[in-house]
Amino acid sequence: MTCKRIFAAVLTSLSLAFTTMPGFAVAETLRVMSGSTSSALMVPMNRAVVVESDTPFTELSIANPGIADISSLSDRTVYVLGKEPGRTTLTLLGADGRLITNVEVQVTPDITEFKERVQQILPGENIEVRTANDGIVLSGTVTSVAAMDRAVDLAQRYAPDRVSNLLSVGGSQQVMLRVRFAEMQRSVSKSLSSSLGISGSTLGDNLGILGGGNALNTADALSDALDGANIGGGDSNGAVMFGFNAGGLEIGLLLEALEERGVVRTLAEPNLTALSGQEAKFLAGGEYPVPVYDGAQIAVQFKPFGVELNFIPRVVDGDVINLELEAAVSSIDTTNTVILGGYEIDAFRKRETSTTVMMRDGESFAIAGLLSDDFRDLNGQVPWLGDIPVLGALFRSAEYERQQTELVIIVTPHLVSPTRGEALSLPTDRVALPTERELFLQGRVTGRTPTSGAAGEVARQDFSGSYGYVLD
C-alpha cells in the first residue's frame, strides 16, 4: 500500500471517529458533478460537510483558509469544516491539471440549535430564522412585543450585534386612553365682629372703639346709627347698627356677622388614541401670553393651560398595556397676580401627574389622588376690654375659615381597531338647521331629528325616566 493510500485511510478513520464523538463537528455529504461550477455549499460554523466528486482529483485548494478548512479523505472525497462566517471558493483539479469544479462555500452561523431553542421558549409563535452573511434574520408574525423582544434577545446570544429584526406584531396595536379628572372644592367662612362708638359734649370728638377692625369709620357709623340711616357699601354684609342716648352721651353699636359657603366641581374626560410605542398629545384649553424680559426688550411667551394629556402606550403581551402618562389640568388664577414692568401677570393653578403603569385592556387605575383640608381660626380683641365678662364680646372679633379639596385622576386603556365612518356619530349630527318655516312660524332653533344612520340611532334612544344619583 502506498503512503498516499495509507494517509487517506487514516484521515477517513479520524473523520469517522470525530463524527461519533460528542462536541465535535458532524459531517454531512454533498455530491458534486464534474465539468461545471457547483451550486453553493452551505456549511454551518463549527460543523463539517463531506464533498464527493465523481472524478478523481489530484489537487484541491481553498481561497480563504480562515473561513473554511479542508482535508482530503480520498482522491474523490473532501472534508470541509466551517470556521468563520463568510464566503470562499473550493477548487478541485484533475491529474492533468484540468479544472474539475469550483464549489462556492458559504459558512453561516449554526442556527439549528437556535431554531430548537426558539420552539422551546416561544412555542406557537410564527418565527422564521434565516442567515445573511454572518448574521441572523428573524421574520414572521408574533403575538406580542414581549415575544418579539425575547426572540431578538435569544438571537443576540448566537450572533451578537448581527441580528436583523423583521418580525411584525399581530393583533390590535392601537390604544385608546380615557382619562377622568374629578375635583371637588368646598369652602366655609364665618366671621363675627363688633364696634362701639361714644359721643358727648364732655368727650369732645367722637370716641370709637373697634372690636374686630371693621372697614367702616366709627364716627360715621355712630352718626348713621343715631340718625337711623342704613348701612352702605359692600363691606358690611350682615351688619346691624343701633344707637341710644344715656344722659349726655350718645352710644352707637355696630355688629357684623358674615357666613360664606362655596362649592366648585371640576370634571374633564379627554380620550385619545395612539399606536403602540408612539407618543400622543392632547390639549383642550388655550395659551396665555406672558411678557418676558430678555435683557434687551420685552418679549411675549405663551404658556398653555387647560386639560393636557401626553402618553406613550406599549402593548406588551396580549392585552397587557404599559402606559407612560403625563396629565395635567390648569387654569388662570386671577387672585394671585404679579406686576412686572407695568404689566399685570396672572398666576396659574395646576394639578398634574407623571407616572408609568401597567394594566390590561378595559381595566382602570387611579393614578393620582389628593385630599387637602386647610383650616384657619383667628380671634382678635381690644386689650383688657375684650376680657370683661359678657360685655367683652362687644370688643372681640372671630374669624373661621376652612377649605377642602378632593382630586382623583383615573385612567382606562382600551385596545381599539378602526371602523367604517358610517358607524361613528358626531355631536353635530344630531342637530339639523331649522327651515324658515320652523324658525319663524314655529319658533324652533333646530330642525327635525335625523332618522337614519348612527345619529338617528342615538336620537331614537329613550332618555326618559329616573337619572342622577340615588341615595338610600
Q: What is the mean pLDDT of each run of 10 residues along the chain (472 residues)?
A: 44 42 45 57 83 84 89 87 86 83 82 85 86 83 82 87 84 83 86 72 50 47 51 54 70 76 82 88 88 79 89 84 89 83 82 90 87 85 77 78 87 86 69 80 75 55 48 44
DSSP per-residue codes, 430-441: G--PPPHIIIII
The string of DSSP codes covering 237-262 is: TTEEEEEEEETTEEEEEEEEEEEEEE
The kind and range of the H/E element at 220 are helix 218-227
Q: φ and ψ at 237, to 5 degrees?
A: -65, 135
The tens digit of pLDDT for each residue in 175-230 reads 999 988 888 888 888 888 777 666 665 545 545 454 444 434 444 554 555 554 44
Residue 110 identity: D
Q: What is the structure's pLDDT at 29?
A: 56
Write down the pLDDT at residue 14: 40
Spatial separation of the C-alpha atoms in residues 154 and 163, rounded to whole Å: 10
What's the confidence (pLDDT) of residue 233?
44
Task: List the beta bridge partners of residue 357.
Answer: 323
DSSP H or E run through 23: none
pTM of the model: 0.56
DSSP E strand stretches across 201-238: 207-210
Domain ranges of the chain: 37-108, 111-169, 421-461
Q: Tell me the sheet residues that pair with 164.
A: 137
Return the CATH fold of 37-108: Immunoglobulin-like (2.60.40)
Tell me: the pLDDT tens digits for 256-267? 778 888 887 778
CATH code of domain 111-169? 3.30.1340
pLDDT of residue 311: 92
Q: How far apart are CA 86 and CA 290, in angstroms?
A: 64
**Are 91 and 61 spatial neighbours (Cβ–Cβ below 8 Å)?**
yes
pLDDT of residue 83: 87
Report d(CA 127, CA 214) in Å as an integer.
82
| Strand ranges (E), 298-342 | 298-317, 320-340
Q: Is 140 left (phi over 0), alpha (psi -120 to 50) or beta?
A: left
Q: Given the C-alpha cell 410605542, which residue does it identify?
A: 277
Q: Are 85 and 109 in contact (CB under 8 A)?
A: yes
Cα-based distances in Å from 92 to 52, 65, 82, 164, 415: 11, 15, 18, 35, 62
Instruction: Read off the amino acid at residue 362.
Output: G
3-state percent helix, strand, coil for the chain, nearest multiple of 5: 15, 50, 30
| Helix ranges restricted to H, 52-192 | 112-121, 145-158
